[in-house]
Structure 1
């Protein structure tokens, strides 16, 4: 009898039917321990999975898993690991294999590469497996199956699908497909953008004064202050190179690559400098070059106010828009405020010194207050008074305008001066007081080659006469005063210099706050409070720190801490603490702290994974 050949599916169905009987040679051998006693089994025959459920089949009688690159599916869902079959489950499989090629675009989008992994791919076929209740699916290449070569249409289609089009090298693509190297081949290159160039600021003077005081045969060389950076009239003190915008490029997707805009460094000229069209900053007079400001850099030449002798009641307090040089002591109760550096060739006793720049004291500071940089701004009296006055006047004028509208709504009238005086008495009593405080601060302003703050002084005097606000015919004088007060405190704010230092030989019972560094040149500190945004350094080998509190954002380098008297010192740093010797102290870095109660030498304190480590040798 002849007929068509049975298909794989028909053969599998016949195998299942014949295998059901115990006497059939197609039935699994009873001696095969991997087959369930009830006759349930699975096998691979003809490249497909055959499953037989015995009469007493229960879930779990047949277990399947796949060996990579084969992926097992049960009822259409992928299975990771082992699959416990239930009766009627549909089992399928596939082979997970890498694509024949890959198109890789560089992170910057400038280059695209073709990487062929296989030029020809053969079909996969499940390897035959005998019947078992635990079947592991494995596959191999079907040597008799039709091979699938990599086609140019597939590669080019994928490239177009990805959108790669800029400077596409079609010959290189076809060559790699015809004779694959199996290495990444450049197939497209974009146009790299030309980066922008940021503005640059070049200084031709030193911002920080490393050493100011020098002793010769035990006495101070008073000419040493001439080592402060100086510029001659007409000298170039800085140069700003203008920013240069970049040129856009294109990526392999033919999209524009726009370089980031260049960063600018805006500069402004102070009273005694000129800025040329080319960006050169030229000194118009001799003096110390000064750079201040944060976002906008302000250049100027600082003038000097020199005091020969002590600053006492006879000389009065000093307020000066520039550097103050004192050849003598600053005595108790006196105030020196400079919008620049302050140099004291002597001692400071019970006084206050504020400087928007640095403070240098050749001698000692006792029971005093020293503020530099940012702190020299906020503790400056004229800054505080004019800032408060501007805010107070703004509120007063707004209230006066509202009150005037209310009076008119009632069909009545009132003089502006009367309105302002009544408001000042009832709700804004602080305004007349702040005006008087501002005037008092201005009485100590020292003049050199022109009156400083003249407009502000005259406007304050105009509104503080015998009649006060009552004598005002309009609100315009107070509007003008508010404008001048705001301009004044903003001017002082801009005077804050970048690289500042407070330097002294010794301090006792003194508060020191620097927006930069603090340098102790000789004996040390006693029961004082020191704060530096950057570092604190004790320079003399004999310097001691007894009692008080030292805090810095950067390194604190000490010689000797604690001793027979002076109490416990508290040393705080955000980075590291170094000390030659510590007898007693509380060391703090970040939020961690540790007490040193036994003498140590060569001490280093730092954080390691959030834990404070204190290293040193016992004395």
Structure 2
């Protein structure tokens, strides 16, 4: 056998080696990252292998190509990878939000030297820091803590014992090391009332019959009774924060009280009744105490009694019949029902029977819809414009050295520009004619002035600028009498209402059957009491909460319920719910549901 290899055999070997090498090249290889002796090395993938990634765990920080990475990031062999450490403080001195307290929190007693931990080759590398327990770089000590406190300009004494104890045996929790003095809040002035402001069960039943004699269940006092006492405000005491700044307490809220004709207020703010009647509180900024008298109607309010206007409570032991008006500068109590009529009260209204086709206004709304208030203010606004026009016209006439009666100028202005004044005057005269008992005499002078506008000859002859000013004063007294009669806590109480409007700036309480096709508006709450009471085809709007039972029905017009805070229904068949400007339409029955702005 020859020792020499032929050229052909060499060529065959080359082909075989090339073929084996091609098989090796086809193998897929992933990239990897490893750490050796503090150095990061990256190998690129080949033939479609996966690219290696890196991320860091605090306190280690990684930078790839000059940018700190915050999440898992791909790297290559030519990537510039740098690393460092985030040096967290050993302790922290903090001040509470109200600046009353200073806290020390120790996170660690010492700081060790850190290095990059060794890591075997990995496709997805997580780099960590490694502490060298033999190299302590820094330790918590009292001097460093005191230096930190000094930089913060803390002006109160430090609890040195608490600081030393925490340094020696750290709890690793915030501990208080200094404290200022919080201001001591005072107490607002308040009223202690010795009578009920709310309508109670005025009409009681005896063996199934109304006890008409028992109307004194209305809150009542006798002359000499103490009805209230003002508890004065207590001023607070100032404090100081940890920086030495004075902290003032919130200013206390005082209450100003005053008494009407039949109420005495002693120097020590005790309120005493000087007349028998119902005590009440009027006004907002100033709390006025008054004693209300009552006008009692033993039967129905009808054409025989006429409309009723009274500066006190009105108690009706019968019904209010069709197309009648009751206007009260107090409360209205009706033992029977109200049919197609209007009731306005600056206080509360309670109807024992049904309310059908009527308008019921209490409190602020009772003031607005009171004819004496509305007509007096409307007439006063018109007369102010007429008097200004008269002043300008008289000035021009005087410049021409001519003379004319004041009443004649006023009449011409009224007939040419303010024809509506005559209708307002007639309405006011009707109201005054309806005023009951002693109050009527107080409006005689106002009636005389009103008559001027219905008799042109008398207007021209007797009306003067001085009389017009006095007339304006009487008008202002009339509408202010109503405005100042508005009570603080009012409500409407009914059993059943249909085709009616009910408005109150207090609660509206539906005690029994419910409301059908009504407009019900309350500045506070609308509450249905009976489990099976209904609300059908009605619009309800409350400044706070609506609590209803059965809303809508299987057939009929849907209801709309709107409240600022929340709406609770036992069952609602269909309708619209609005809470805090958010709306939801109900098409399918819902039961035992509470709606508020968070779930609409």
The aligned counterpart of 2:201 is 211
Equivalent in the alignment of 1:551: 540
Name which of 531, 534, 542 aligns with 2:520. Answer: 531
Structure 2 counterparts to residues 102-181 of structure 1, below 5 A = 102-128=92-118, 137-145=127-135, 147-170=137-160, 172-174=162-164, 176-177=166-167, 180=170
Deviation at 1:142, TM superposition (A): 2.9
Are 1:201 and 2:191 counterparts?
A: yes
1:250 to 227, 230, 240: 240
Contact 1:291 1:298 in 2 (8 A): yes
Q: In 2, are the aligned partners of 1:511 and 1:528 still within 8 Å (CA)? A: no
Q: CA deviation at 1:479?
A: 3.8
| Aligned twin of 1:576 | 568
CA distance 1:520–1:72, change in 2 (3 Å): closer
Cα distance, 1:204 vs. partner? 1.3
* Partner in structure 2 of residue 189 of structure 1: 179
Partners of 2:508 and 2:526 within 8 A in 1: yes
Aligned length: 559
- Give the SS at the match of 1:194: coil
Q: In the alignment, is residue 226 of structure 1 matched against residue 237 of structure 2?
A: no
Shift of residue 95 of structure 1?
1.5
Q: Counterpart of 1:276?
A: 266
Matching of residue 607 in structure 1 with residue 598 in structure 2: no
Change in 2 beyond 3 A, CA 1:83/1:560: closer
Give, in angstroms, the shift of residue 412 of structure 1: 7.1
- Kept in 1, the 8 Å contact 2:514–2:528? The answer is no
Q: Deviations 1:522-560 (Å, cap 9, x if unpaired)?
A: 7x4786525252335365x9x876965363634455689
Distance 1:470 1:78, change over 3 A: farther
In structure 2, how many angstroms separate the alpha carbons of the residues matched to 1:50 and 1:537? 76
Instruction: Identify which of 322, 331, 337 aligns with 2:321.
Output: 331
In 2, Cα distance between the equivalents of 1:182 and 1:506? 67
* Aligned-pair CA distance for 1:283: 1.1
Q: Secondary structure at the match of 2:381?
A: helix
Q: Could you say if the C-alpha distance between residues 219 and 138 of structure 1 is closer, same or farther in structure 2, counting changes exceeding 3 Å?
A: closer
State the SS of the aligned residue for 1:491: helix
Distance, in Å, in 1 between the alignment partners of 2:399 and 2:420 is: 29
The offset of 1:331, in angstroms, is 3.4
* Structure-2 change in CA distance of 1:113 and 1:505 (3 Å): closer
Report the Cα distance in structure 2 between the residues aligned to 1:265 and 1:557, rounded to whole angstroms: 36
Show CA shifts across 1:406-463 (max 9, x none). Answer: 6677887765444433332332333343233223211211233784445644554566
- Show structure 1 runs of 5+ residues with no match: 1-32, 613-619
**Is residue 188–residue 233 contact of structure 2 (8 Å, CA) maintained in 1?**
yes
Q: Distance between the aligned counterparts of 1:133 and 1:219, measured in 2?
A: 94
Alignment check: 8 A CA contact 1:592 1:611 kept:
no
Q: Is the 8 A contact 1:571 1:586 kept in 2?
A: no
Q: Which one is further off, 452-461 or 67-76?
A: 452-461
Supply the distance in 2 between the matched residues of 1:135 and 1:316 (Cα, whole angstroms).
97
**What value does the CA root-mean-square deviation take over the aligned residues?**
4.2
**Distance of aligned partners of 1:176 and 1:586 in 2 relative to their CA distance in 1, 3 Å threshold:** closer
Separation (CA, whole Å) in 1 of partners of 2:119 and 2:551: 84
CA distance in 2, matches of 1:82, 1:611: 39
What is the distance in 1 between the residues matched to 2:432 and 2:128? 95
Residue 6 of structure 2 corresponds to none
- Aligned partner (choices 290, 298, 304) of residue 288 of structure 2: 298
C-alpha distance in structure 1 between counterparts of 2:300 and 2:42, whole Å:
112
| Counterpart secondary structure, 2:412 | helix
Task: Tell me how far 1:230 sits from its aligned partner.
Answer: 0.6
Corresponding residue SS for 2:437: coil
SS of aligned partner of 2:377: helix
Q: Deviations over 1:31-67 (max 9, x none)?
A: xx7779xxxx88553x4x477999x9xxx99965433
Structure 2: runs of 5 or more not aligned: 1-28
Partner of 2:375: 385
> Hey, what's the Cα distance between the residues in 2 that align with 1:196 and 1:611?
39
How far is 1:253 from its partner?
1.6
2:229 pairs, out of 239, 254, 276, with 239
| TM superposition shift of 1:291 | 2.2
Deviation at 1:266, TM superposition (A): 3.2
C-alpha distance after superposition, 1:368-411 (max 9, x if no partner): 43333333222211111122123223333344445556667788
SS in 2 for 1:396: helix
Matches within 5 A, 1:415-494: 416-448=406-438, 451-453=441-443, 456-457=446-447, 459-461=449-451, 466-467=456-457, 470-471=460-461, 475-494=465-484
**C-alpha displacement at 1:282, in angstroms?**
1.4
- Distance across 1 between alignment mates of 2:72 and 2:549: 68
Secondary structure, in 3 states, of the residue corresponding to 2:471? Answer: helix
* Superposition deviation, residue 98 in structure 1: 2.8
Which deviates more, 108-117 or 512-521? 512-521
Per the alignment, residue 21 of structure 2 pairs with none
State the TM-score, normalized to the length of structure 1. Answer: 0.76
Distance in 2 between residues matched to 1:303 and 1:259, nearest whole Å: 44
Change in CA separation of 1:146 and 1:342 when aligned onto 2, cut-off 3 Å: closer
SS at match of 1:576: strand
Deviation at 1:317, TM superposition (A): 1.9
Equivalent-residue separation in structure 2 for 1:365 and 1:116 (angstroms) = 72
Distance in 2 (alpha carbons) for counterparts of 1:227 and 1:314: 28
Pair 1:338–1:419, CA change in 2 (3 A) = same
Note closer, same or farther for the CA distance 1:177–1:415 as it changes in structure 2 (3 Å cut).
farther
Q: 1:411 to 1:126 in 2, by over 3 A?
A: farther
1:303 is displaced (CA, Å) by 0.7
Q: Is the 8 A contact 2:43 2:76 kept in 1?
A: no
Counterpart in the other structure of 1:265: 255
Does the aligned pair in 1 maintain the 2:577–2:586 contact within 8 Å? no
Match of 1:122, SS state, is strand
